[in-house]
Structures are given as structure tokens and as C-alpha cells.
Copies of this chain bind each other. A is one copy, B any other.
Amino acid sequence: MTAIDRLQSTFARIATLDEAAAMLGWDAAAMMPPGGAQARGEQMATLAGLSHELLTAPALADDLAAATSPADPWAAQNLALMREAHTRATALPRDLVEASARAGSACETIWRTARAASDFAAVRPALAEVFNLARQSAEILGAALGLSPYDALMAQYQRGIRAADVAPLFADYTLFLQKALPLAEEIQNRRSHESLPPGPYAVDLQQALCARLSAAAGLNFASARLDRSAHPFCGGTPTDIRITTRYDESDPLSAITGVLHETGHGLYEQNLPAAWRRQPVGQAAGMAVHESQSLIIEMQAVRADEFLAHLAPVLAKAFHKPITQGALAHRLRHVARSFIRVEADELTYPAHVLLRFRLEQALLSGALPVADLPEAWNEGFHALLGITPPDDAQGCLQDIHWYDGAIGYFPSYTLGAMAAAQLFAAARKALPALGAHLAAGDLSPLVSWLAQHVHSQASSLGFNELLLATTGEKLNPAAFQAHLESRYLTQ
């Protein structure tokens, strides 16, 4: 066995452990009775600990040092990703890793109460400690990886794009939004307001329809399940996708769009290249690319006029109610200034992310003291959307991310939305009949195109490399803005 063989075998073992953890994570959210929670936490910790031990074993370091870069570009990228994973796992002192885990866990617990009481002061010291430790980690990781501290954190979630690349795109969006939002509101007010028929929409009908739409979108249910959980997600492994949703009897579109969003994630995983299964290069390319694949289904394809024209009679038949395309469009493309990110429409959603992107960099560098966060949040929010959160629960306390130690994650949402629009525009060009396919409810040409150009590329390319290869240019928010203009700013 060569060093490369041994490395591939060990990384496959680590990935197999991670798969076990992914299944247990799904079970915890979708199946587990409450009494199982403590033991499940211990099971997950044991799996993570063994995974970490395998990744940091001295023999693996020796093999990484001995391995020479293979000629095959995928194999070479695989080795590079192994080195990066090993560097990340070994760069940080154990004390710092454990202190960070403890601080994140403690802060998250306090945050749950603090958010409910809208009491930022209660969680402030814990959050300061989270950022304090994250700063130390980010500096060490950045030095080891040749990245700025913030980029070192951001790259945990999405490789191949840096804060310096993101900042001008987001600044541009700020300017766009200042003009676009009032105009979209004005146009929206002038449009007719068709409503969905009142509920109830029976949950079993919703469930059957969601499964049918997901399968029609291409998810292979011989290797997937659809279940319920408090928060929708896509978990599992490439050959055993577990998507979840929640159902609201008064509103079927929440589950339907949620399931189609998760279906986009699931399709990405199902179409990853089997030949590189369980190798670093065979994994999805990152959170932003993943989000682009859920949003291209949910936002670009499903909310397109053509698909809504198909969907309206499907829903009408399933629920035996007069559901029109106009009502779907009104419900699914409603723009509103709101305080909560996860409830935002696609036009204002980036504003929520822009604010967080700016603030988390300032918090990480120390330029913004944690104590000043609520004020900075509220001012920044007002500048972007013209409204001020009435309390911190609807402001800087709303998201778990920072309180749980996830810093550098937020940009992925908007990078994904922008990439989805750019990819969809490229798909429209490459597939002249795409509109007709959507009108027939047929997503398969789009999904095949994505499988070929995105899914099957796995982690062989970073974020901007992938867009360049697929669309001819790096991330360019023009496609996203053109999409928004056509959907919201056209009379």
C-alpha cells in the first residue's frame, strides 16, 4: 500500500463514521424520544472523538508528509483537501478546542432563555467568551492555512471565496436594494391580491403531495425518506437521504416549498460521484454551493411563472380547492420588510445577511465590542430596511449561529442565492426549452444539467472556480439582480 492508498482508506473510514453520525443526527431530530437525548449526545461525542483521533494520528501525518501530489487532478485535489482537514484538526491546541466547545454549548443554553426573555445582557458575557475564543482559533487557523482569521472561519463552511471577494458584491446589493425595495412594494401594492382558499389543508394530503413533488423533481426515494421534524432539513448520506419538514394545516405552501428546498439539497447529495464517495474531494463543495442547489429548485424553478402555472392545478386537484396561479404567485412572491431572517422574502433576505456579515467580522476582530452589538444591529438594520427591531429577540438574539460558535456561516445563504440565479440563467441559455419543461412540471432537464455541471463536480472546484467553469464567470450578482428585477420590479 502506498501512502495515498493508506490515506484514502483512513479518510473513507472517517467519512463512514461521519455517515453514522449523520444518521444518528437525523434520528435525534425526527424519531428519538426525549429520554434518548443524553445518551445520543454521548454517542455523537464518541463518534466525533474517534473521527478526530483518526484524523490526527501520527501515522496519518507521516503519510501526508510522504505523499507526492498525484497527476490526476481529482486525486491531487483530494490530497490537498486531506492536508487542509489535517491542518484544521491539528492546528488548534486541545485546550482551546475544548474551551470553545464548552463556551459554545454554555452560551447556546443561556441564549435559549435570553432570547425568550429578549434579554441580551443575560447572554452578553457568554457571547463575549465565544467570540474571544473564536478569535484565538481564527488567528491560529488563518496562520496555518494562509488565510485571514475571518476567512479561515468562513472557509469551514465554503471554500473558494473570501471576505474580500464578498464585500463589494454585498455593497453593490445594498445600493440595489435601496432603489429596488420601495419600487417592489409600490408595484406589489398595485397588483391584484389573489388569496389561497382557506384551510384546513389535511396533513396527510400535504405529505403525499410533498413526496410526489419531491420524487417528480428527481429525488430517488429508493434511497431517500421524507419525515417530520421541528425544523426542516436534509440529512443522511448520499445513498440514504433523509429530508424532513413540518406541516401547517392552514398553509400547504410552507411544507411544499420547504420540501422542494430540501429536495434540492438531496439531489446534490444523490448525484455526487460514486467513484469518490467518502473521499474529501467527493463531498459537496460547501454550504454556499449546497444552498445554491436548494434555492435553484425552490426559488428559481418552482417559483417561476411557468412552474406555478403547472403547480396550481396540481394543488387544486390534491386539495379539492380552487387554487389559482395568481394566488400562488401572490403567496410565494410577497415582499415585506420584516425583522426575522428565516421569514424573509428573497429580495430582503440578503439585507439580513449583509448586516450579519459586517457585524460578525467586527465582533471577531474586536472592532465592535459585544456589549455594543444590539445598538449596532438596530442601527444597521434600520439603514438597510428602514425599520428598527422593537426588541433584541427580533434583533440580534434571533439566530442561534453566533451563540453556538458558528461564525462565518451567514454569507453562505446569500452567496447561494446569488449563485442559484447565476446558474439558472446559464441553464436557461443551455436549455432553450427549459421554460416549456417547467410549464409541464418537468424539472428533470434542469436537474440533469445541475448533476452534470455542479453535483458531479463535488469538491473538485472551489466556489468561484465552479461558477467560472459552469457559467463562464465568477460570482456576479448581476444575474440575481436581473432575476429580482424581472420578478419584482416589472410592472
Binding site for B on A (CB under 8 A): 13, 16-17, 19-20, 23-24, 27, 31-36, 38-40, 42-43, 46-47, 50, 220-225, 236-240
Contacts and interface: CB of A to CB of B under 8 A. Distances in A.
6 contacts: A16-B39, A20-B43, A24-B24, A27-B27, A33-B221, A40-B240
B33 A16 contact: no
Given A23-B27, A50-B50, A39 B239 contact: yes
Contacts of A33: 221-225, 240
Given A36-B223, A36-B240, 17 more contacts: A17-B43, A17-B46, A19-B39, A20-B43, A20-B46, A20-B47, A23-B23, A24-B24, A27-B27, A31-B225, A33-B221, A34-B222, A35-B222, A35-B224, A35-B240, A39-B238, A50-B50
Contacts of A46: 13, 16-17, 20
A474 B215 CA distance: 59
A456 to B, nearest CB: 18
A20 B17 CA distance: 10
Nearest to A32: B240
5 nearest CB pairs, A to B:
A35-B223, A36-B240, A16-B46, A20-B43, A35-B222
Contacts of A224: 33, 35
A23 B43 contact: yes
A95 B219 CA distance: 42
A44 B84 CA distance: 28
A398 to B, nearest CB: 30
Contacts of A27: 23, 27
B225 A38 contact: no
Nearest to A237: B39
Q: Is the interface of A mostly helix, strand, loop or mixed?
A: helix
A24 B237 CA distance: 13
Contacts of A237: 36, 39
A24 B44 CA distance: 13
A244 to B, nearest CB: 12
A409 to B, nearest CB: 27
Contacts of A35: 220, 222-224, 239-240
A182 to B, nearest CB: 48
A263 to B, nearest CB: 15
A224 B239 CA distance: 27
A118 B186 CA distance: 77
A223 to B, nearest CB: 3
A17 B236 CA distance: 19
Contacts of A32: 240
A175 to B, nearest CB: 47
Nearest to A39: B239
A43 B26 CA distance: 15
A89 to B, nearest CB: 17
Nearest to A36: B240
Contacts of A238: 39
Contacts of A222: 33-35
Contacts of A23: 23-24, 27, 43
Contacts of A50: 17, 50
A19 B27 CA distance: 13
Contacts of A17: 43, 46-47, 50
A42 B16 contact: yes
Contacts of A236: 36
Nearest to A19: B43
A325 to B, nearest CB: 34
Contacts of A38: 239
B24 A20 contact: yes
Nearest to A51: B50
Contacts of A223: 33-36
A42 B14 CA distance: 12
Contacts of A36: 223, 236-237, 239-240
A36 B235 CA distance: 13
A242 to B, nearest CB: 9
Contacts of A220: 35
For A19, A20, A24, A239, which residue has the most chain B Cβ atoms within 10 angstroms?
A20
A238 B47 CA distance: 19
A240 B24 CA distance: 12
A455 to B, nearest CB: 16
A152 to B, nearest CB: 30
A457 to B, nearest CB: 22
Contacts of A225: 31, 33
